[in-house]
Structures are given as C-alpha cells and as structure tokens.
Amino acid sequence: MPDSTSSLSALPSVTARVIAFCSILLGGLAGGLLGYGLVDTQCDGVCTVPTGTGMLVCSLMGAGGTAIIAVLVLRVQGEWRQIQDPS
C-alpha cells in the first residue's frame, strides 16, 4: 500500500512543463523568423500576404515539431523516474 508521502501522479514536474512550453514558443518564433526571411528574400514589390503566410506556416511547423520533441522528452523523463524509483 502506498504511503501518503509518495506522489502517484504521472504528470511531469511543473518546472519541466514550463520549460517545454517555453521551448515550443521559441520553436514557433524561430520558425516564423525563418519563414519571413525565406519569403522576404524571394519576393519583389508588395509582399505582405506571402510574407505573412510564410511566417504562419513556418511558425506552425516549428512549434509543432518542437511540441512533438517536448512530449517525447517529458514521457522519457517520467519513465526514467519510474526506473530509478521502482517502489
């Protein structure tokens, strides 16, 4: 029978979740900057719509890819904690 001091939650720590969330935001920001730069260098004249579309698509791709990695890392962290404390 588990004692009241041990945590039975499978959630990662709050610090790990905050770091994962911030890394997703940074991944989206980096993707948006790359999308802007890519479209801006190839477009002549008024390019507000293509530039905005490039920023949106690349920021979603960057945030999505970073989110996948963050979820995998958080799951591995939970499994690692379970291996270290098999009680």
Q: What is the three-state SS of 16-65?
A: HHHHHHHHHHHHHHHHHHHHHHHHHHHCCCCCHHHHHHHHHHHHHHHHHH
Q: Could you list the pLDDT tens digit for every one of the 87 residues in the chain? A: 455 555 556 678 899 999 999 999 999 999 999 999 999 999 998 999 999 999 999 999 999 999 999 999 999 888 776 666 666
What does pTM read for this prediction?
Answer: 0.79
| pLDDT confidence of residue 8 | 57
